[in-house]
Amino acid sequence: MREQLLHLLFPYVCLVCQKLLLPDEEYCCSSCKETFDPFRTPSEAENVLRQTIVSHFGEHFPFERGWCRYQFHKKSALQQVLHSMKYEGLFNLGTSFGRQLGEWMLSEGDIGDIECIVPVPLHRLKRTERSYNQSEKIAEGLAQSLKRPVHSGLLVRKRYTVSQTGLSVEGRKTNSEGAFLAAKDVRGCHVLLVDDVVTTGATMAAAAQALREGGAEKVSLAAVAVAAKE
The residue-averaged pLDDT of 213-230 equals 91
CA angle 168/226/39 to nearest 5° reads 155
pLDDT in tens, 136-158: 999 999 999 999 999 998 998 87
For residue 27, the model assigns a pLDDT of 87
- Which residues have CB under 8 Å from 229's CB, separation 6+? none
Higher per-residue confidence, 137 vs 124: 137
Checking if the pLDDT of 194 tops 80, the result is yes
Question: pLDDT digit string (tens) for 12-60?
Answer: 889 899 898 998 888 899 999 999 999 999 999 999 999 998 888 777 7
pLDDT digits (tens, 9 = 90+) for 100-122: 999 999 998 889 999 999 999 98
**pLDDT value for 59:** 74
Listed in order, strand segments (DSSP E) in 174-217 are 180-182, 190-198
* 179 SS3 class: coil
Q: What percent of the chain has pLDDT over 70?
A: 86
Q: Kindly tell me if the per-residue pLDDT of 208 is higher than 60.
A: yes
Question: 38-76+94-227 architecture in CATH?
Answer: 3-Layer(aba) Sandwich (3.40)
Q: Is residue 118 within 8 Å of residue 192, measured between CB atoms? A: yes
pLDDT of residue 132: 87
Domain definitions of the chain by residue range: 38-76+94-227
Q: Tell me which residue of 158, 192, 196, 149 sits closest to 176, measured CA to CA.
A: 158
Q: Mean pLDDT of all residues in the chain?
A: 86
Q: What is the mean pLDDT of residues 77-81?
A: 94
Percent of all residues in the chain with a pLDDT value above 90, rounded to a whole number: 51
CB distance 195 to 203 below 8 Å: yes
Predicted confidence (pLDDT) at residue 91 exceeds the cutoff of 80: yes
How confident is the model at residue 76, as a pLDDT?
95
